[in-house]
Amino acid sequence: MALHLDNTTQQNVNQWLSEAYDAETKSQIQQLIDQEDQITLTDSFYKSLEFGTGGMRGEMGVGCNRMNRYTVGAATQGFANYLLTVLGNQKIKVAIAHDSRNNSPEFCRIAADIFTANGIEVYLFPALRPTPQLSFAVRHLGCHAGIVITASHNPKEYNGYKAYWSDGSQVVAPHDKNIVAEVNAILSVDDIKFQGNDALLHLLDDQIDQEYLKTIQANCRQPEVIQRQKDLKIVFSPIHGTGITLVPKALALLGFTSVHVVQEQAEPNGNFPTVIYPNPEEKEAMTLALEQAKALDADLVIATDPDADRVGAAVKSPSGEWQLLNGNQMASLILYYLLKVDKKLGRLTGKEFVAKTIVTTDLIDKMCAQQGVPCYNTLTGFKYIAQVIRELEGKEKFIGGGEESYGYLIGDAVRDKDAVASCAMIAELTAYAKDQGKSLFDFLAEMYIENNFYYEGLISLTKKGKAGAEEIKQMMINLRSNVPASVAGSKPVKVLDYEGLQSTDLTTGQVSPIVEGRGIEASNVIQLILADGSKVSARPSGTEPKIKFYVSVNAPLASAADFDATFSSLQAKVKTIQEDLGLK
């Protein structure tokens, strides 16, 4: 069969076959043409890989819609142009790191060369390091910006590019959109300066590791408890990623002596050979760690994703079965421990705060209110939590926070989710529980007995193509215009519409503004609050053809013996809410 490419795709293919591109790239394109691989050619060239407000992510390969030296080059040149425009004649500094993915070291070096070619000094991690350490390095080294080459927990075919600003946070307004505009203005490969200047390149040594680890050690609340429970049996898996570089070191620094690394997943490997998805949210990715925990009769299982910004954990139930904790549960446990211990140690002075996203469990708000600690709710994305920390810096002290998608932060030395620091804190709170003769499961049950058993369900609906996009749009219109009279037997009492930044009390009809700022801006999110304390949040994805519904329910828990029955009841309620709202 002959190839039938549309005009845009064909023009992009022709451009990439020109003299401006290297021989290997042109050879790979010609191979696809000779094989008449229309599907791959079309997907690789029908559009340019989008550089969004936080960076970009995509499959690796040749073409303008793939991650490769030219798309990484255009992103970096655009970022460099923006830095030079905004910062003028300053001595500009950028920090760069990468994860364990295939091509990450090469993309990292390409980016470093382009920055130095533009007269920008680069502080480069010569080997893979966790994403949160890049955030730390930007601030510690006084850099103006940073990037990390990573696709987080995506499948092995993917790589990506995260952009950071001088506070160590992923870029936010107005820089985010302005950088995107500069990247989009790179229309030719000739605009990219690939020839680096090694005189402006500084390779970082392990001193930056030590400085970062010091901040994790400083987070430790009760070193004497860890000393008593130093033989706590911890199973850790980096799932072939960057966690191996610093998580065992952090645990050892705190004093833990019985850390067992899952050897089959210890070596960094961009093919992630032992898992389907390198994501600790997936039970399959935790299988080897759980098997090792059973064999050792361990106290705790923890696993980090490839760039070590997310962490999954598992606890042993009274029946002896290992259960994975979801992101809401672990975020709650971390804050439950920090608030409890900080109060005991006299660390709560009235100047502390917690931050989380609006779709993360309200259990955290409740626990903070009991201790008189403000809990600021932000839009989804850790950059918004970082924005709150930045706005309150010097006025209020950040205790910790997180989001339901397995990302947590303790202290403010880092301005992104931090699995290394989180692993250390999860180990500490497990040691604290054991020091009181309890398991981590007992600690979880204790939290629920004191505050109600909160359970959150996520319903993610995929609606592909133009028709799918229209369907998602209509679902949001319907929610805004036709609030149901009853959901799972409970009456909606409030609607929070973040697109219009307004809150409507359905009992009185009173409309109040949702205050913009501190991690809140106009966004296509709706929340229904029910009379019984349940909450439903609807949020279309900005990057995928999906709409997500976050359902939160709660009920009293009389005793740990009632855990399973209460859990089953709450799961059934989430299902009823799903059915009543027609979410399918």
- Spatial separation of the C-alpha atoms in residues 90 and 87, rounded to whole Å: 6
- Spatial separation of the C-alpha atoms in residues 109 and 96, rounded to whole Å: 9
The half-sphere exposure of 417 on its side-chain side, counting CA atoms within 13 A, is 25
CB 404 within 8 A of CB 456: yes
CB count within 10 Å of CB 126 equals 13
Looking at the DSSP bridge assignments, the partners of residue 407 are 403
CB 307 within 8 A of CB 324: no
Looking at the DSSP bridge assignments, the partners of residue 355 are 376, 401
The residue with tokens 């040691």 is 431
| Residues taking part in catalysis | 152
Select from 450, 510, 413 the least CA-distant residue to 168.
413
Whether residue 248 is preceded by a cis peptide bond, meaning omega within 30 degrees of 0, is no
Helical H runs in 436-522? 440-451, 465-481
3 state SS of 140: helix
No. of helices (H) and no. of strands (E), the chain: 18, 22
- Spatial separation of the C-alpha atoms in residues 551 and 98, rounded to whole Å: 35
Two tokens at 409?
A: 């932060």
Residue type, 574: V
Residue type, 367: M
CB 232 within 8 A of CB 299: yes
Helical H runs in 149-301? 175-184, 207-219, 223-228, 243-254, 287-296
Phi, psi of 14 (to 5 degrees): -60, -40
CB count within 10 Å of CB 170 equals 26
Concatenated DSSP letters of 58-83: EEBSSSTTSBSHHHHHHHHHHHHHHH
Select from 250, 241, 252 the least CA-distant residue to 128.
241
Concatenated DSSP letters of 330-365: HHHHHHHHHHHHHHHTT---S-EEEEEETTS-THHH
